[in-house]
Amino acid sequence: MPIQAGEKMPSGTFGVMTDSGPGAITSDELFGGKKVVIVSVPGAFTPTCSMNHLPGFVEQAEAIRSKGVDTIACMAVNDVFVMDAWGKDRGVGDDVVMLADGNGEYARALGLEFDGSAFGMGTRGQRFAIVVDDGVASHVAIEAPGEFEVSKAESILNNL
């Protein structure tokens, strides 16, 4: 069952690119004592993700932060090198933390993985956005397959 508003975010570790190469950040480090918007996309460099979903959060970063959000993070079931390259390609700068969920373990822990084998993608994370207050999900927006409405930046901004 997918995570619900009011539930604690699961423990886990994400890959992140640091100045000295691949590193890691735990869910406790990411969410502890902070308000975070975590966005999940099915894959880096895919059309909707690259042209609409991630850019929306970059464009709305200032407005989202003005609502008390400390961190905007984007997660995908890709490796840290791909997430870093995608972030650079999309010009995220310091606006969005790029999180690699390389084996889909965090998506699975959230109950939000899906089988993309029919598209040659293996197990992936669904498209969603979660507002997290000090480790607890306060708003969960999960897209229906093929949809892009409830998890886009403007919708999340309206729910902060």
Band (pLDDT 50/70/90 cuts) for residue 45 is confident
CATH architecture of 13-158: 3-Layer(aba) Sandwich (3.40)
Lowest mean pLDDT among 32-36, 50-54, 101-105, 106-110: 50-54
Q: Where in the chain are the domains? A: 13-158
Torsion angle of C-alpha atoms 40, 44, 87, 109, degrees rounded to 10: 30
Band (pLDDT 50/70/90 cuts) for residue 4 is very high
Q: Which residues are catalytic?
A: 49
The model's pLDDT over 99-153, given as tens digits with 9 standing for 90+, comes to 999 999 999 999 999 888 888 777 889 999 999 999 999 999 999 988 999 999 9
d(CA 35, CA 125): 22
Find out whether 99 and 81 touch, Cβ atoms under 8 Å. no
d(CA 136, CA 36): 10
Measured in whole angstroms, the distance separating CA 110 from the mean position of its chain's CA atoms is 12
Higher pLDDT, 47 or 67: 67
Over residues 19-38, mean pLDDT: 98
The model's pLDDT over 60-103, given as tens digits with 9 standing for 90+, comes to 999 999 999 999 999 999 999 999 999 999 999 999 999 999 99
For the stretch 90-119, what's the b/e string if a residue is b when 16 or more beta carbons lie within 10 angstroms of its beta carbon?
bebeebbbbbbbbebbbbbbbebbbebeee
